[in-house]
């Protein structure tokens, strides 16, 4: 283990960083920004253009992205670039805790952080959630290693990252209170370490929070993050506590499986370290569930993956004389798991054909219950799997059954995790529903912009020459899509005016003095949460599809902008 630390440990962390970059940067700008992403990207763009907008409660993302927009193009890729880079850097955080985790579990944790679907999803969103997570753990790690100045800098950056940091601080604070008096203080390098950390924190807040005094309202945005977090407890949300828990189980299956094994062993041995991790995991999960936002599950992922890394490191302890037995058990269980998944995928094709209505006793409520041959096969295969594990434990040894089960499920769920991590990028299933996103990307954004470009080119000779008026459409994503044009957002059109291009919600006519031609586009398709039934979740699990609602917008162009209309009127 010491040779691993000295010879390979460093480049393995960098390998994990490269893996993380691959999942976070590949096709980063392919999908349009959602409304929730666009509101912060637009603020960064306005700062880059020299304006003084009112900033949202995520000043770190807004101010740093505005710098990026100053030196390069304001695009979907650059709007998401900083969260992707910072989210990838999270893999280095275990390095600061390897004295407690040990070398191998810390390295395993780094790779788990690199491919975790939830962390990948958050790193591909233009928001400050992943910034808060990464900077807070870097602040903790550098502080406990006696590096006061970096700890103060990272702590300031975490505070500037938005409301999510308060969820992390609340979780860590409550966990600390549970074990108050049992945690030994970390030795510091100098007696003045707290003072140095506070100086670094205050200096970073002043400089980074104002973008070197060019955006003073960044500090006011910092103080707005606390009310914004508190409002989240009472504001309406598309997610219920049950849906948040389902998202956690659906995306974090590998971590949940390994964490359960680790907790069983930890409670059996009465290990204080595992009990602390269990309390941390439980508190963070409960806070995220009742906050009703899947993005806050990020704070539960860390203790979950710490437990998973500890358990997976034990699976490497295979003696040479038991490799054959463990390999046979792993292969047999893996075949059964693949067969079970094929049955689940088949059910997902036609989920309603496999369900029948049933009445719950004493409640009189009608629900959909699984019924059919596919479910019989699924339950039978699961029973065979359990019997195989039991026979191996009885016939060979409990250790062989444990190692074979751990490796087979790790390989199978590891492939599922990689697929889920790739899926949250939007490239595996176009227009699929990913529960880590608070809203969905516009469906026909590229088509609408292409149409606007063509109209402007036909009429003015340049794709960005014609101004656009938006009426009755509350969509920051639409404003972001039209960011390179002169855009005017109004509530009511002036009946005496005739703007060249107008975007409205679905309507028959504009009521303006000039003639217009219109084309409708599907803009948003949020999940129809009120109509989703139990069978729909089987389809989602395999194909990421749910029943949708459709919002349509109309692009109107004044008739005289088209070449055929000008020819009929005798105009050039």
The predicted-structure confidence for 57-73, as pLDDT tens digits, reads as follows: 999 999 999 999 999 99
DSSP letters of 265-292?
HHHHTT-HHHHHHHHHHHHHHHHHHHHT
> Packing angle between helix 253-268 and helix 298-315, nearest 10 degrees?
70
The CA-CA-CA angle for residues 246, 113, 436, to 5°, reads 35
138, 139, 280, 304 from 107: Cα distances, Å = 16, 19, 21, 15
Distance between terminal CA atoms of the chain? Answer: 80
Closest to 379 measured CA to CA, from 331, 356, 417, 347 = 347
Structure tokens at 91: 């893999």
- β strands within 259-364, DSSP E: 355-359
Closest CA to 540 of 433, 403, 459: 433
Per residue in 404-424, pLDDT tens?
Answer: 999 999 999 999 999 999 988
491-542 pLDDT per residue, tens: 888 888 889 999 999 887 788 888 889 999 999 999 998 888 888 888 898 8
Cα–Cα distance, 309 to 273 (Å, whole number): 14
Is the separation of the CB atoms in 165 and 224 below 8 Å?
Answer: no
Looking at the DSSP bridge assignments, the partners of residue 178 are none
Output the six-digit token pair for 239.
């997610």
321 has pLDDT over 90: no
Pairwise CA distance, residues 216 & 207, whole Å? 10
Cα Rg, the chain, nearest whole Å: 27
Q: What is the mean pLDDT of residues 74-103?
A: 95
CA 417, chain centre distance (Å)? 14
SS3 520: strand
What's the token pair of residue 397? Answer: 């040894």
Cβ-proximal residues to 429 (8 Å cutoff; 6+ apart), any chain: 423, 543, 544, 545
Residue 403 CA, chain-centre distance (Å), reads: 32
Quick: pLDDT tens for 233-251: 988 887 889 899 999 999 9
| pLDDT band at residue 489 under the 50/70/90 scheme | very high
- Residue 425: closest CA among 22, 18, 14: 22
Per-residue pLDDT reduced to its tens digit, 354-395: 665 554 554 445 555 556 677 788 888 889 999 988 888 888
Return the DSSP state at 7: I
* Spatial separation of the C-alpha atoms in residues 135 and 124, rounded to whole Å: 17
CA gap 356, 367 in Å, rounded: 8
Q: What tokens does 430 get?
A: 């176009």
pLDDT at 367: 54
Q: Which of 519, 158, 105 is nearest to 316 (CA)?
A: 105
């Amino acid at each position: 283990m010491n040779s691993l630390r000295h010879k390979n440990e460093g480049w393995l962390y960098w390998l994990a960083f490269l893996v993380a970059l691959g999942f976070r940067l590949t096709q980063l700008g392919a999908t349009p920004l959602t409304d929730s992403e666009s509101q912060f990207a637009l603020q960064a763009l306005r700062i880059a253009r020299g304006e003084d907008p009112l900033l949202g409660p995520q000043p770190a993302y807004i101010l740093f992205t505005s710098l990026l927009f100053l030196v390069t193009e304001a695009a979907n890729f650059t709007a998401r670039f900083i969260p992707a880079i910072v989210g990838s850097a999270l893999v280095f955080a275990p390095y600061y805790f390897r004295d407690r985790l040990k070398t191998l579990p810390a390295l395993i944790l780094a790779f788990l952080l690199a491919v975790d679907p939830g962390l990948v999803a958050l790193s591909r969103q233009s928001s400050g959630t992943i910034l808060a997570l990464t900077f807070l753990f870097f602040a903790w790690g550098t502080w406990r290693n006696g590096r006061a100045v970096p700890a103060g800098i990272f702590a300031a950056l975490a505070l500037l990252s938005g409301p999510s940091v308060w969820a992390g601080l609340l979780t860590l604070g409550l966990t600390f209170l549970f074990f108050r008096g049992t945690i030994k203080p970390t030795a510091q390098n100098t007696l003045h370490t707290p003072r140095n950390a506070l100086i670094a924190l205050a200096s970073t807040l002043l400089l980074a929070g104002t973008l070197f005094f060019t955006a003073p309202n960044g500090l006011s945005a910092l103080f707005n993050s606390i009310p914004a977090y508190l409002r989240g407890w009472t504001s309406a949300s598309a997610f219920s506590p049950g849906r948040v828990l389902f998202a956690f189980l659906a995306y974090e299956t590998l971590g949940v499986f390994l964490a359960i094994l680790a907790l069983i062993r930890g409670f059996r041995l009465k290990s204080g370290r595992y009990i602390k991790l269990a309390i941390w995991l439980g508190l963070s999960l409960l806070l995220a569930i009742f906050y009703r936002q899947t993005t806050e599950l990020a704070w539960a992922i860390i203790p979950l993956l710490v437990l998973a890394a500890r358990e997976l490191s034990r699976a490497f302890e295979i003696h040479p004389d038991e490799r054959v037995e463990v390999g046979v058990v792993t292969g047999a269980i893996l075949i059964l798991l693949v067969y079970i998944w094929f049955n689940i995928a088949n059910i997902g094709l036609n989920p309603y054909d496999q369900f029948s209505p049933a009445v719950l006793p004493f409640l009189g409520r009608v629900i959909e219950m699984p019924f059919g041959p596919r479910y019989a096969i699924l339950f039978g295969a699961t029973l065979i799997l359990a019997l195989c594990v039991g026979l191996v434990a009885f016939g060979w040894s409990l250790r062989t059954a444990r190692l074979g089960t751990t490796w087979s499920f790790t390989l199978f769920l590891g492939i599922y995790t990689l697929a889920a991590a790739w899926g949250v990028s939007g490239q595996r299933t176009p227009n699929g529903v990913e529960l880590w996103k608070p809203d969905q990307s516009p469906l026909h954004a590229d088509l609408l912009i292409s149409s606007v470009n063509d109209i402007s080119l036909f009429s003015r000779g340049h794709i960005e020459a014609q101004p656009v008026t938006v009426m009755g459409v509350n969509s920051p994503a639409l404003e972001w899509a039209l960011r390179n044009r002169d855009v005017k957002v109004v509530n009511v059109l002036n009946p005496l005016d005739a703007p060249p291009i107008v975007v409205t919600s679905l309507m028959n006519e504009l009521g303006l003095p000039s003639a217009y031609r219109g084309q409708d586009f599907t803009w948003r398709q949020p999940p129809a949460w009120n109509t989703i039934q139990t069978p729909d979740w089987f389809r989602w699990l395999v194909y990421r599809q749910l029943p949708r609602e459709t919002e349509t917008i109309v692009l109107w162009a004044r008739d005289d902008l088209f070449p055929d209309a000008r020819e009929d009127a005798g105009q050039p």
